[in-house]
Amino acid sequence: MKDTNCIFCKIAAGEIPSRTIYEDEQFRVIMDISPATKGHALILPKEHYANLYEIPEEVAADAMKLAKKMASEMTQRLECDGFNLAQNNGEAAGQTVFHFHMHLLPRYKEDGNQEKFAWNHLELSEDEVEEIYQKLTK
């Protein structure tokens, strides 16, 4: 299914032009319009799923297989020093386009993002940690 109001549906379908670096029946991989690093790209499924909760398991598995393939190929071509995969779900997690996508982020020593990609660590009490552990396991 496509969503007629969704920009990534239109890009994935080729209705809006994009710099496409890979395409098959299921996915299009495009260069991000506002790259965080040199070569920042996005894997878009051609079908519309808002996020990880909605995407079928098999499509998610295929997206991860493609991410692995793209990471190897891009690392070779760009001679980057490392690689991040990122995938945001929901506003609270930083999602701004509500069509599932995976960020492919080639990383370079001193690429200016060393801090941005890190996160702060919480200082939780033993009780708080235990409470979360119980929620995750009971």
What positions carry a catalytic annotation? 101
DSSP 92: G
| Residue closer to ligand 5GP (CB basis): 37 or 71 | 37
Q: What is the phi-psi region of residue 64: left when phi exceeds 0, alpha when psi lies from -120 to 50, beta otherwise?
A: alpha
**Alpha carbon separation from 58 to 42, 102, 122, 126 (Å, rounded):** 19, 15, 34, 38
Residues 70-99 that bind ligand 5GP (CB under 6 A): 88, 94-97
CA 53/CA 73 separation, integer angstroms? 28
Residue 9 contacts which entry, Zn ion, ligand 5GP, none (Cβ below 5-8 A, type-dependent): Zn ion
Q: Shortest distance, CB of residue 27 to ligand 5GP, whole angstroms?
A: 14
Interaction pattern, residues 44-73, with ligand 5GP; x per rule: CB under 6 A: ------------------------------
Element (H, E) at 128: helix 126-137
Taking CB under 6 A as the binding criterion, the range among 25-33, 47-55, 59-67, 77-85 that sits at the site for ligand 5GP is 25-33
